[in-house]
Amino acid sequence: MRGVVDRKGEQFAYVQGRNVYTLDNELTGYVQGDYILDLAGNRMWQLIGDGIYSLDGAETIGYLGGERPSEYDT
C-alpha cells in the first residue's frame, strides 16, 4: 500500500495494488501505466515517477508515498 499525499504533505488517498481508494476505503480509481484513472476509465492525473501531476503536467497534485509493508494492513 502507498499513500497519496497532496503538496502540503497531507494524505488524501492510498493505492493498493493498482486500485486507488479514499481514506474512507472507497474505491475511487485505478493506476494504469503512467496515469490514474477514475472509475469510468477517464484519465484524472499523470504519474511521473512518484509525482502526481495534472494531465498537462502544469500543476503538481502531490506524490505517492513509499511502499508500506502489508503486515500493517488491517
Residue 57 C-alpha cell reads as 503536467
d(CA 22, CA 14): 7
Residue 13 C-alpha cell reads as 488517498
pLDDT tens-digit series, residues 6-41: 999 999 999 999 999 999 999 999 999 999 999 999
Model's pTM, two decimal places? 0.86
pLDDT tens-digit series, residues 42-71: 999 999 999 999 999 999 999 999 888 765
Instruction: Please give the pLDDT value at position 73.
Output: 55
